[in-house]
Amino acid sequence: MAIRLQEGPFDLGQEISIMTAARKDVGAVASFIGIAREDNPDEGAEPVIAMTLEHYPGMTERQLMAIETEARGRWPLIDCLIVHRFGRFEPGDPIVLVVTLSSHRQAAFDSCNFLMDYLKTQAPFWKREETVSGERWVNARLSDNDAAERWEGQH
Amino acid sequence: MKILYFAWVRQKIGLAEEIATPPTSVNTAGELIDWLVCLSPGHAEAFANRGTIRIAINQIFAEPEDSIVGVTEIAFFPPVTGG
């Protein structure tokens, strides 16, 4: 079980190799990678040149650990990993990685989905986008709140 | 007490953090905002729309009515947009 904040890139294959090494009980690995996108229909038609991700050191780690603990309480996870990058990114750059390991696929899939939904609304990160006409802070999306809230009744 | 600002709250105030000693009549996070908006035009602008401000007390999400008595760190920021 681990959470990591870093500026540099991550390697999904390498992370899974480390997590599954010498284990015979893993039946399912699910993963999600969030990637910086060029278009942001919420904010306007101009393509995004780059984005900067700011976070709250200390609280970010605390929140990611709390989210991970919550997932482990809900599903029988053998292991899970959250890696979130901060700094400046260009479209196509991977920003966030979630990996979940379980005996069976449903727990791996569902917990991976849950971790991303909660991370989106509970972890103190903020995105600032650069376009040709200047910079803008990304607004929070109501649909992200809805996505997180759908897990509330299921415990 | 250490007060931290992030994202556009930080930009509007022009500070990432400041050490403040509010009067003893300030007991909640909301009362702290009432006091902060009088410090500078930047503070007033940052807190102009209170509904968009999120609060963390000692790095835990909090509400305006929550007590800040004895608190060492409080942060104000917009709704989060990570992931």
A27: nearest Cα among A79, A70, A86? A79
- Are the Cβ atoms of B79 and A140 closer than 8 angstroms? yes
The upper half-sphere exposure of residue B75, i.e. CA atoms within 13 Å in the direction of its Cβ, equals: 23
Minimal C-alpha gap between A141 and chain B (Å): 8
Contact B45, B12 (CB under 8 A): yes
Domain spans of chain A, in order of start: 2-149
Residue-level pLDDT at B9: 98
Which chain A residues have a beta carbon less than 8 Å from that of B9?
Answer: none
Look up residue B78 and give its DSSP letter.
P
- Are the Cβ atoms of B59 and A62 closer than 8 angstroms? yes
Residue-level pLDDT at A46: 86
List, for residues A49-99, the tens digit of each pLDDT value.
999 999 999 999 999 999 999 999 999 999 999 999 999 999 999 999 999
The verdict on domain A2-149 having CATH code 3.40.50.300 is: no
Q: Does A85 touch chain B (CB under 8 A)?
A: no
Averaged pLDDT, B16-36: 97
Which ipTM score applies to this complex?
0.94
Task: Centre a 10 Å sphere on the Cβ of residue A101 and count the other Cβ atoms it contains.
Answer: 25
Residue labelled with tokens 């105030």: B13
- How far is the C-alpha of A131 from the C-alpha of A133, rounded, in Å? 5
- How far is the C-alpha of A25 from the C-alpha of A76, rounded, in Å? 12
Q: Does B75 touch chain A (CB under 8 A)?
A: yes
A114: nearest Cα among A67, A77, A153, A82? A67
Q: How confident is the model at residue A132 (pLDDT cuts 50, 70, 90)?
A: very high
**A106: pLDDT strictly greater than 80:** yes
Residue labelled with tokens 């996070």: B29
Q: Does A53 touch chain B (CB under 8 A)?
A: yes
List, for residues B34-76, the tens digit of each pLDDT value.
999 999 999 999 999 999 999 999 999 999 999 999 999 999 9
Among the four given CATH numbers 3.10.20.30, 3.40.30.10, 3.20.20.70, 3.90.1640.10, the one describing domain B2-77: 3.10.20.30
Helix segments in B1-83, DSSP class H: 7-13, 29-36, 41-46
Residue-level pLDDT at A44: 66
Residue-level pLDDT at A45: 74
